[in-house]
Amino acid sequence: MSIDVVPDWLDNLLVCVECRGTDLKREEGGFRCFDCGTQYEIVNRVPLFHRPSTMVDAAESLASYLGGLDLLSVQRALSTALRYRLKDPELRGEFSQIVERYPFIDTTEQSARSEPSPDFEVIAHYFNPVFNSAKEAYRSFRIKSNVDYTLKSVGERPFNLSYWLTDASGQRIEGVRSALPIPLHPGRELTVPILIAAPDTAGEYRIQIMLVQEFERWRDDCILYDGPISVVATVPPRPGLVTPPHAGYFDFNEDIARSGKVISLAAEMLRRETGSNELMILEIACGNDPQVLRHNQPGSLVVACDLSFPQAQLGSLRCVKEELTPVQNFCFISADVFNAPFREASFDIIVICAALHHFANITVALDQLRKLLKPRGKLVVLREPGKVAANDPTYIRELENGFNEQQFELDEYDVMFERSKFRPIYQQLDFECSYKAILAT
């Protein structure tokens, strides 16, 4: 499709992701920043807004690495990794992540540290310190390993996470063990759901969370969390949480339909508050099936954004073909939410579906999204994990396949939202596990 198919109204939202300048102009085949000269290509109606320094032409690098092979031939070879796949799931790994197998692709520079780093450090957590007496609850911690060996929760001397509780009298209570869902390799990060068994007696306690190598020692030289907790006899019900009835099993199609109703509810709120039917909507991490197009809101203009350039292209091609909404009313782009190509206060509604839990630091991601909302804007969070199933086979398999899977309890979302200066004005839990919320600033 020609560049003219990318709607003109998108231009008024854009900034250059290289210099944050606003002087972006259309040229043949893409956009160009007249402040710094950076060019952004458009393919299949999808602008690619990534900083050039964050991308590598894998075909060029691979051709050079393998002795100066013909570039076109290497491009054709790499295309087969996406185009073809083996039916046998045990053999598909031979096709996946083919580029990452070559050392040239890892160009990450290690930042210099002025001080020695700890063996293990916490990258993110959303620790809610209130617990129900005699009940178990999870709190998830994202941990980075700086040691030169792999941590596993299997074998002769397995690593687990655990804790010590100290009551008001100074008596210590040893905590239960929580296994690492997959091995934690040197230099890598992993979010671990830690099971905490609250004492039977209500009161104030202190908790220290740390690694323990069984039959060896507690790593009390590297405490991951040290702080107070409150154990109460009864945790009051979550105010305003809607829990629609269901048939007792998870229904994917019904969950999608309920997500659409939450989007419509947010749109109705905006229309009442602003008196306008025209809405500018952004969905991030949209994949190839944005919920805002599946559940299109009349009078809206939609930007569907995904980090993956192939996903954004496939989504654009699909939505043009299926005519979910007039082609002039939506646009797909590929961009990183942490350096989004949008001016601040551009959107009435931002939607994120089944993707918030994939961000390494969720409060940082929420901070970025808040900047993009208009003063009365709403953030719609859909289909997020609302309970922890630490041994779920699908969850483990996704982690093993390289996805940043995380699970959280509702109490942890309270902390996420408060830290990022959002407040939930509507919350819903479907099938006892699928969390949805409308957030205001």
Domain span at 79: 58-105
> Residue 1: its pLDDT value, please?
39
Mean pLDDT, residues 353-376: 97
Q: What pLDDT digit, counting tens, does each position of 271-294 carry?
A: 999 999 999 999 999 999 999 999
Instruction: Please tell me the predicted confidence (pLDDT) of residue 55.
Output: 83
Angle between helices 362-372 and 410-419 (to 10 degrees): 50
- pLDDT for residue 146: 96
pLDDT digits (tens, 9 = 90+) for 149-198: 999 999 999 999 999 999 999 999 999 999 999 999 999 999 999 999 99
Are residues 385 and 279 part of one domain?
Answer: yes
Backbone dihedral angles phi then psi of residue 369, each to the nearest 5 degrees = -70, -35
Residue 264 has pLDDT above 60, yes or no: yes
| pLDDT mean across residues, the chain | 92
Q: In this structure, are 75 and 165 located in the same domain?
A: no
Strand order in the sheet with 30-33: 24-27, 30-33, 39-43, 46-49, 330-335, 300-306, 279-284, 347-353, 373-385, 434-440, 423-430, 241-242
Has residue 320 been placed in a domain?
yes
DSSP 116-144: PPPSEEEEEE----EEETT-EEEEEEEEE
Question: What is the reported pLDDT for 108?
Answer: 47
| Among 304, 245, 297, CA closest to 428 | 245
Does the structure show a pLDDT above 70 at 3? no
Bridge partners (DSSP) listed for residue 408: none
> Do 171 and 278 belong together in one domain?
no
Residue 130: which of 414, 436, 396, 367 has the closest Cα?
Answer: 414
- Cα–Cα distance list, 101 to 54, 65, 106, 185, 188 (Å): 19, 12, 9, 17, 17
- CATH code at position 259: 3.40.50.150
What is the structure's pLDDT at 115?
A: 67
Q: Is residue 432 part of a domain?
A: yes
Query: Which pLDDT belongs to residue 4?
Result: 47
The pTM is what? 0.91
Statement to judge: residues 291 and 182 lie in one domain: no
Same domain membership, residue 378 and residue 323: yes
pLDDT score recorded for residue 104: 61
Average pLDDT over residues 33-48: 93
Q: How confident is the model at residue 93 (pLDDT cuts 50, 70, 90)?
A: low
Residue 211 has pLDDT above 90, yes or no: yes
Pair 268, 413 in one domain: yes
Residue 267 scores a pLDDT above 70: yes
Residue 177 belongs to a domain:
yes
Nearest to 135 by CA among 176, 102, 77, 172: 176
Is 264 found in the same domain as 197?
no
Tell me, yes or no, whether 89 and 179 share the same domain: no
Position 52 in a domain: no
* Residue 217 · residue 164 · CB < 8 Å: no
Q: How many structural domains does the chain have?
A: 3
pLDDT in tens, 127-155: 999 999 999 999 999 999 999 999 999 99
Q: Is residue 349 part of a domain?
A: yes
- Kindly state whether residues 80 and 198 are assigned to the same domain: no
The answer to whether 435 and 429 are in contact (CB under 8 A) is yes
Contacts of 389 (CB under 8 A, 6+ apart): 395, 407, 433
Neighbours of 110 (CB within 10 A): 6
Report the distance separating Cα 147 and Cα 412, nearest Å.
Answer: 28
Asked whether 136 and 197 are in contact (CB, 8 A), the reply is yes
In a domain, 361, yes or no: yes
pLDDT band at 258 (very low <50, low <70, confident <90, very high): very high
CA pair distance 401, 182, nearest whole angstrom? 11
